[in-house]
């Protein structure tokens, strides 16, 4: 999966630590299409999850990322996966209703942009929220936009990526 979205979809990676005090590792977020045509979201700590909105949802995400950020302090959110039932993930029980929110922002005017991926959802018997969001503290805007442009291009292609 790691190489699948490099050329045909969105893959944004960076070095960081998912949990405070843990070793630095290669972290990533990806959106793309599997060879069977299924649209998926993937992240370092969750694995591949269904993106049931398909190409239109992926394209909306890419367009959101490509919008010029405000100059000053800001935080904007995009709900990529909205309470969608999941199955076959090694880290989530079948039937889990997953929500994935992506935040992009800047804490101060002229400061670096950050990206956060927040996971929450419902399992039989209750709700959950992942308390350690996936965070890129310094977003290289050119890399983010290049990945979003690849995703937008792949949304226009029918069939296989």
Q: What mean pLDDT is predicted for residues 126-148?
A: 87
- Confidence band, pLDDT 50/70/90 cuts, at residue 153: very high
pLDDT digits (tens, 9 = 90+) for 69-118: 998 999 999 999 998 887 776 677 777 888 999 999 999 998 999 999 99
Which one is predicted more confidently, 99 or 46? 99
E-strand stretches of 48-153: 49-50, 74-85, 97-106, 113-123, 126-129, 134-136
* CA gap 123, 47 in Å, rounded: 17
For residue 9, what pLDDT is reported? Answer: 83
Whether the per-residue pLDDT at 146 is higher than 60: the answer is yes
What's the predicted TM-score (pTM) here?
A: 0.84
For residue 7, what pLDDT is reported? Answer: 52
Tokens (6 digits) for 130: 């992942």
Cβ-based neighbours of 126, under 8 Å, separated by 6 or more: none
For residue 159, what pLDDT is reported? Answer: 55
Contact 5, 32 (CB under 8 A): yes
């Amino acid at each position: 999966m790691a190489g699948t979205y490099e050329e045909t979809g969105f893959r944004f990676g960076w070095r960081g630590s998912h949990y405070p005090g843990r070793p630095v590792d290669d972290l990533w977020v990806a959106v793309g299409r599997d060879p069977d045509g299924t649209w998926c979201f993937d992240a370092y700590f969750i694995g591949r999850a269904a993106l049931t909105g398909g190409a239109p949802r992926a394209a909306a995400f890419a367009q959101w990322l490509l919008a010029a950020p405000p100059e000053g302090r800001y935080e904007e959110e995009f709900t990529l996966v909205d309470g969608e039932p999941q199955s076959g993930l090694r880290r989530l029980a079948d039937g889990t209703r997953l929500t994935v929110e992506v935040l992009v922002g800047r804490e101060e005017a002229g400061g670096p942009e950050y990206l956060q991926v927040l996971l929450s959802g419902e399992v039989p018997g209750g709700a959950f929220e992942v308390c350690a969001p996936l965070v890129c503290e310094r977003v290289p805007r050119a890399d983010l936009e290049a990945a979003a442009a690849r995703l937008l291009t792949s949304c226009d292609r029918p069939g296989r990526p």
